[in-house]
A and B are shown apart, each in its own frame.
Chain A
Amino acid sequence: MNYLEIKDLRAQIEDKEILRGLNLTIPKGEVHAIMGPNGSGKSTLSKVLAGHEDYEVTSGSAILDGEEILGMKPDAISRLGLFLAFQYPLEVPGVSIANFIRAALQGRLAENETIDAVGYYKDLYGCMDELGIDRKFTSRSVNEGFSGGEKKRCEILQMAMLKPKYCILDETDSGLDIDALKIVAKGVNQMRNPDRGILVITHYQRLLEYIIPDKVHVMWEGGIALTGGKELALELEAKGYDWVREELVA
């Protein structure tokens, strides 16, 4: 029950197969990292899991705590407990961060329940302080006019507020300065617990110095080509992806 288990996942877009029989299991309590060259399908994997309707799943399954999520609507998957921090977060003009997160939380409650405003702001400000986000941001429109780094922090803020069971962070470290990287890593580490599985997608082993992964996977042409411990990231950084290609041919 306590797994996000992906089996033989194949998915395509516009008749182009991107995911080609991918297998991956993320147990609760663990942090896994995926590395892999540009275009290997990392973001595609995260969007397919989140229920993006542009992708056609042609085979396989993705079981979240015993429930098949492939074919479910994005909002239903979200409410089941899957969170995706986007590689490119979108702007929502005119909708403040505070209202956006509040609407998302409200959507998780039963129809007759409402969020306690005082408690909500207390949590929100608490999370913002931890992530070094100025409280003034609560009234700014979601991601509108944010710098790259601010967008990424805002993703982590949402994640912290929604308390998902499984988190996928798609290149959350890209575009962050060193201080921001440390803050974001701290935010993720605080969310590490036995009831939560985390998948970080990254190009840089540096992030993995702050968020120590239990496992590292290498994605290659729509599948997981290699799996190892945290040292695999170091090896990749030293040898580059040509090394993976040679390994695969061998």
Chain B
Amino acid sequence: MIQPTQIDIDRDKGNFRYETDYQYDAGVGLREEVVQYISEVKGEDEWVRDYRLKALKTFYRKPMPTHWATKDLENIHFDKIRYYLAKGQKPSRTWEDVPDDVKETFERLGIPEQERKFLAGVEAQFDSEAAYSRMKVELEKEGVIFVGSSDGLKDHPEIFRKWFGKVIPASDNKFSALNSAVFSGGSFIYVPPGVKLAQPLQAYFRINAENFGQFERTLIIADEGAELTYMEGCTAPKFETATLHSAVVELVAMRGAKIQYITVQNWSNNVFNLVTKRAMAHEESEVRWIDCNIGSRLTMKYPGVILKGRKARGEVLSIALANDGQHQDTGAKMVHAADETTSNIIAKSISIGKGRSSYRGLVQIPGHLSNCRNNTECDALLINANSRTDTYPAITVRGNGNAVQHEASVSKLNAEQIFYMRQRGLTEAEAVSLSVNGFVNDLIREFPMEYSVELKRLIDMEMEGSVG
């Protein structure tokens, strides 16, 4: 064992301190050596290392998207970030050090004991090996591959190499380039033709420090007629030490396949969460993104579907909640590239106090296509006078046989409505919670049962602090 050193990962949250095995620490800042080092530690093939290095150059070259996005992005100091943290790092924090309000939150969310320690940063590993290996046996019988990103590229290049970086090229945007250079963690999944997985696959089963890392990379391929649901994140608050999170998620739905990708994330206030998520939908396939974003300093995320095959269907259902000091910049992209493709976007945002939500939508239907359809609904709810919401829909629809429907609404939580509810005996907080739940209700109904229950509870708790 090499001598451990003490490092401060984040000075704003100075009570989070990790001892790290520096053999596996890439140091601070982003240089070519860092990328080389990551690739080496992971024992990657040459083509992966070259891919990373090329992506790094792209990253350097690309400007920050501050011309359309928020200026807050300029506050990310790339030279002060650690791009690769060791596996098996041992936090020095003990359960006693965890603040009481955090413990209480776990308690109220009903998070199992073992997971609490992981989530609070007391343990670097969440021991779910048993559950995972049981599941693995089941999956292997069906020929399903469910591994980490590095293992996927190393052990199954014949499957993953073909699609890796194809749905989202490294050059797509500055942050996809960054991820392509330094990615670690995330899941690589392949479901063979015709295999329909009844149980959702969860990133949760494979939780460890790396998996919940800053630069996750996920690639999911559903072969012809295959079906799966994938869930990432959890409603438990993550007490993050690293401020920049930039994941890339690529989905490929082959002919007739169905993929449902569910995200529920509850970030702490210091996190920049800049994620690129996109799916390629082939003929008669269906891709559905369900995305729920709570917390973070700034989230920028616009899940997209490229509707490449005839009759493909894409859907984005999203809920964003921005409290004081938070900015949720979310939306969806639907690129229609074949006849008879359909897409549906329902986005609901809630802004509380000084919280800010923006919706950015992009829908493209070129003129040479026919019988394409898009439906977009975005609704914003503002709570308390200061909150802010903006909508930036970009809809390009050409051709006669294509149809779009776009509806947007902004409502303020009405004081008279709250009085009415209080007159029936609900406290102010209960009234606000119930109203907010009412606002997202029709969307939450689309979520898998256990998520919808947790989500409601989470929204309730988020509301409590904000009123009265």
A interface, CB within 8 angstroms of B: 50-53, 73-75, 77-79, 83-84, 86, 89-95, 99-101, 103-104, 107-108, 141, 158, 162
Size range of the interface on B? Answer: 20 to 34
Contacts of A162 in B (CB 8 A): 424-425
Are A74 and B422 in contact, CB atoms less than 8 angstroms apart? yes
Asked whether, in the complex, the Cβ of A91 is within 8 Å of the Cβ of B437, the reply is no
Decide: B438 and A78 in contact? CB cutoff 8 A: no
Determine if B419 and A74 form an interchain contact, defined as CB atoms under 8 angstroms apart: yes
Q: Is the CB of A74 within 8 A of B423?
A: yes
Indicate whether B434 reaches chain A with its CB closer than 8 angstroms. Answer: yes
Residue of A nearest to B439 (CB): A94
A contact residues around B434 at 8 Å (CB): 92, 95, 99-100, 103
Q: For A158, what are the chain B residues with a Cβ–Cβ distance below 8 Å? A: 424
Q: Indicate if B427 sits at the interface (CB-CB under 8 A).
A: yes
Q: Given the complex of chains A and B, what is the CA–CA distance between A101 and B425 in angstroms? A: 10
Please give me the 5 A-B residue pairs with the lowest Cβ-Cβ distance, nearest first.
A94-B438, A95-B438, A74-B422, A104-B424, A78-B425
Extra 7 A-B pairs, beta carbons < 8 Å, given A78-B425, A94-B440: A50-B423, A92-B420, A95-B441, A99-B434, A107-B424, A162-B424, A162-B425
Closest CB-CB distance, B347 to chain A, in whole Å?
16
A92–B438 contact, CB under 8 A? yes
Residues of A contacting B423 in the complex (Cβ-Cβ under 8 angstroms): 50-51, 74-75, 77-78, 83-84, 86
Tell whether, in the assembled complex, residue A92 and residue B422 are in contact, meaning their CB atoms are under 8 Å apart: no
Q: Do B438 and A103 have beta carbons less than 8 Å apart?
A: no
**Cβ-defined contact, B416 with A90, below 8 A:** yes
List chain B positions with a Cβ less than 8 A from chain A: 411, 414, 416-417, 419-428, 430-431, 434-435, 437-442
Shortest distance between the CB of B444 and any CB in chain A (Å): 10
Tell me if B435 and A92 are in contact (CB < 8 A).
yes
Closest to B416 in A: A90
Q: Which residues of A contact B417 (CB under 8 A)?
A: 90-92
| 24 residue pairs bridging A and B, Cβ less than 8 Å apart | A50-B423, A51-B422, A51-B423, A53-B419, A73-B427, A73-B428, A74-B419, A75-B423, A75-B425, A75-B427, A75-B428, A78-B423, A86-B420, A91-B417, A93-B411, A94-B435, A94-B437, A101-B424, A103-B434, A104-B424, A107-B424, A107-B425, A107-B426, A158-B424
Return chain A residues, CB-CB under 8 Å to B427: 73, 75, 107
Quote the shortest CB–CB distance from B383 to chain A (angstroms). 14
**A141 CA to B421 CA, complexed, in Å:** 13
| B4 nearest CB across to chain A (Å) | 47
Chain A residues near B425 (CB-CB < 8 A): 75, 78-79, 104, 107-108, 162
What chain A residues lie within 8 Å of B435 (beta carbons)?
92-95
Q: Is the CB of A78 within 8 A of B424?
A: yes
Contact status A89-B441, CB under 8 Å: no
Q: How far is the CA of A91 from the CA of B418 in the complex (A)?
A: 10
Interfacial chain B residues near A75, Cβ < 8 Å: 422-423, 425-428, 430-431
How many A-B contacts at CB < 8 Å in the complex?
Answer: 79
A104 and B420 contact, Cβ closer than 8 Å, known pairs A93-B439, A94-B438: no
Say how far A69's CB is from chain B's closest CB, in angstroms. Answer: 12
A50, B421: Cα distance in complex, Å: 12
A107 to B424, CA, bound (A): 9
User: How near does chain B come to A98, taking the closest CB pair, in angstroms?
Assistant: 13
Query: Contact at A90–B442, with CB atoms within 8 Å?
Result: no
The chain B residue with its CB closest to the CB of A47 is: B419
Docked CA distance A79–B439 (Å): 26
Give Cα distance in the complex from A52 to B428, angstroms. Answer: 12
Contacts of A101 in B (CB 8 A): 424
Min CB–CB distance B387 → chain A (angstroms): 18
Cβ–Cβ < 8 Å partners of B420 in chain A: 86, 89-90, 92
Rounded to whole angstroms, the CA-CA distance of A9 and B295 in the bound complex is 47
Among B417, B422, B428, chain A packs the most CB atoms within 10 A around the CB of B422
Q: How far is the CA of A240 from the CA of B310 in the complex (A)?
A: 74
- Nearest residue in B to A84 (C-beta to C-beta)? B423
Structural contact, B422 and A73, CB atoms closer than 8 A: yes
List B contacts of A89 (CB < 8 A). Answer: 420
CA distance A90 to B440 in the complex (A): 19
A159: nearest chain-B partner, CB-CB: B424
Cα of A84 to Cα of B427 in the assembled complex, Å: 16
Q: Which residues of B contact A104 (CB under 8 A)?
A: 424-426
**Measured CA separation A178–B427 after assembly (Å):** 36
| Chain A residues within 8 Å of B421, by CB | 92, 100
Q: Tell me the complex Cα distance, A69–B118, Å.
A: 49
For the complex formed, measure the closest distance between the CB of A199 and the CB atoms of chain B, giving whole angstroms. 15
A91 to B426, CA, bound (A): 15
* Alpha-carbon separation in the docked complex, A52 to B423 (Å): 9
**Complex contacts, B428 vs chain A, CB 8 Å:** 73, 75
Q: How far is the CB of B228 from chain A (nearest CB, A)?
A: 31
Given the complex of chains A and B, what is the CA–CA distance between A50 and B425 in angstroms?
11
What's the Cα separation between A99 and B431 when bound, in Å? 12
Among residues of B, the one whose C-beta sits closest to the C-beta of A80 is: B425
Q: Closest chain B residue to A86 by CB distance?
A: B420
CB distance from B317 to the nearest CB of A (A): 15
What is the distance, in angstroms, from A101's C-beta to the closest C-beta of chain B? Answer: 8
Closest to A93 in B: B438
Cβ-defined partner of A100 (8 Å) among B411, B422, B424, B441: B424
Cβ contacts under 8 Å, A95 to chain B: 434-435, 437-438, 441
A52/B419 contact (C-beta < 8 A), A103-B434, A162-B425 known: yes
